[in-house]
A and B are shown apart, each in its own frame.
Chain A
């Protein structure tokens, strides 16, 4: 054993230079990919937002802040900005409360638990574009099952149900579908956090006579905080930048009152081919992205050191 160590030591030291070289060789394709296809496009987005660039035409003129002035003055944009915040905070608040309840329920053991887990995970794993279309059919006024049910219980008269054809119901439907989709994701993260709390810590607290409330506030919640933070931060960023549900459910209707920033950016940049304006709208996502990244760094680092 001793001999082996002595032989190994000088050999490893002489390898250090070569290992550093090997390390950067193995890492460089990933860094290169990220640089070329995330970092460069990111700066290209900033550049495009200052030009009158149009899709399919590589000529573009620098027009200063004109795109930003244009979109900021539009009621459609202001509405989309407000909608994005409503969409994000309302849906994430509901998700957080429901996920906490569901995770606590799933901590218990009961018969058929794997099946329940499978059924609860379904909304998150199924392709959301496809399931949003299914919700569209379920909510549509003329034939849908929800419309039938509302009428069966005399909650509305025939054909009163406007589905997503008025803005408030539209936003409510968008938020509900998004909650449906994100709930499993938040639940499994919180569940993982709950199960990672050492049982002996709990047992010790019980032996010492700590009440359930004290255990909740002094053990469960502080230990859960990083995990819940990660779940919330992911949820916020996925929601803030999402366009799938809006695009496939209302597509902004009626009259662009249910647009969010991401879907409006797509409408301008791709559907109307105004790349510059689309990029300008999308850049309003960046401040939130920065805030979430900074907070995420704090929690990820903390947990890495621990």
Chain B
């Protein structure tokens, strides 16, 4: 007997729904809990795991904004951490733009056959992890006298943004037809003039991707931020929020609120630029 089409369809639909629900619960539940914790009163949050009269999955007392108030009081360090992170992220993005974009162009257009090998070589350096380099880099930072300075991070973070963004921009420039610059050069512009006039305006989305990834990778970085920054006022959010947000007691609600505030904007940005990021990672293994 053949299974009727409508039955098969609905079974398929149901199992798809079930699978996706399980996955979404797994990935998003901590964020749901964070949202809950950040609006719960402390008395509600610390009721204890043995208290079966409460329901930790929802509010047992009226929601409150006390944790957000704690974060944004002038003496709270959270705003300082956000500012430090913003400052470092912005400068790292700038350095990455200035170095990776010309390099990407050079590999795509000017370096010929060598370009491909060099490009792959640069891509491979992206695999060298911070956990291998933080020890020798403490020596370098020591010698430069940059301990506990944001300049240490501004100097070191481009070691992971440059390889990745060079590779990303190389792919991006390859996707722009050569004729565009050649036409500009025939019209009497130099190569540099042609790049500035025709290629750069076209690569604005690529440049934006470089900025966003440099910025978010700097924000998420933990190992170097933990190694090189020692004083409380200089922490980045990745170290300051989990280890030092509130000095006397752990304030779960405030840390949850801070995590949400730091995560959601990044998540939205990533979603917008996801496809380009994947293209960069898979290095052309995926053809769109």
Chain A interface (Cβ within 8 Å of chain B)? 4, 7-8, 11-12, 15, 18-20, 22-24, 26-27, 29-31, 33-34, 37-42, 44-45, 48, 53, 55-56, 58, 98, 101-102, 105-106, 108, 110, 116-135, 137-138, 141-145, 147-149, 151-152, 158-159, 161, 180, 183-184, 188-189, 192-193, 196, 226-227, 230, 234, 237-238, 241-244, 247-248, 262, 265-266, 269-270, 275, 278-279, 282-283, 285-286, 289, 292-293, 296-297, 299-301, 303-304
Contact = CB atoms under 8 A, between A and B. Distances in A.
A106 B17 CA distance: 11
Nearest to B278: A192
Contact of B159 (A37, A125, A226): A37
B117 to A, nearest CB: 9
Interface of B: 16-17, 19-20, 23-24, 26-28, 30-31, 33-34, 37, 45-52, 54, 56-57, 98-100, 102-103, 105-107, 109-111, 115-116, 118, 120, 122-125, 127-140, 142-143, 155-156, 158-159, 162-163, 166, 182, 185-186, 191-192, 216, 219-220, 222-223, 226-227, 237-239, 241-242, 252, 255-256, 258-259, 262-263, 266-268, 270-271, 274-275, 278-279, 281-288
A110 B288 CA distance: 22
A20 B191 CA distance: 11
Nearest to A269: B135
Contact of A29 (B57, B102, B128, B284): B102
30 contacts: A23-B115, A27-B102, A29-B98, A29-B102, A29-B103, A34-B162, A37-B158, A41-B133, A45-B132, A119-B27, A120-B23, A127-B222, A130-B237, A138-B30, A138-B33, A143-B45, A145-B33, A151-B50, A188-B278, A192-B279, A192-B286, A237-B127, A247-B226, A266-B131, A269-B134, A282-B131, A282-B132, A282-B135, A285-B132, A293-B124
Nearest to B115: A23
Given A130-B259, A131-B263, A143 B47 contact: yes
A186 to B, nearest CB: 11
Contacts of A128: 220, 222
A187 B267 CA distance: 16
A118 B267 contact: yes
A29 B99 CA distance: 6
A246 B44 CA distance: 29
Contacts of A241: 129-132
A226 B285 contact: yes
B138 A275 contact: yes
**Residue among B51, B268, B282 with the highest chain A CB neighbour number at 10 A:** B282
A278 B285 contact: no
A7 B286 contact: no
B125 A34 contact: yes
Interface of chain B: mostly helix, strand, loop or mixed: helix
A134 B31 CA distance: 9
A127 B128 contact: no
Contact of A7 (B132, B186, B226): B186
B57 A270 contact: no
A127 B103 contact: no
Nearest to A185: B281
Nearest to A301: B120
Nearest to B156: A37
**Residue among A8, A30, A33, A132 with the highest chain B CB neighbour number at 10 A:** A30
A286 B136 CA distance: 15
A22 B131 contact: no
Contact of A19 (B51, B110, B142): B110
Contacts of A158: 49-50
Contacts of B226: 247, 266, 270
Contacts of B279: 192
A4 B186 contact: yes
A141 to B, nearest CB: 7
A304 B127 contact: no
Contacts of B259: 126-127, 130-131, 133-134
A120 B102 contact: no
A230 B283 contact: yes
A130 B131 contact: no
A243 B223 contact: yes
B135 A275 contact: yes
Contacts of B242: 129-130, 132-133, 248
A22 B110 contact: yes
B262 to A, nearest CB: 6
B146 to A, nearest CB: 13
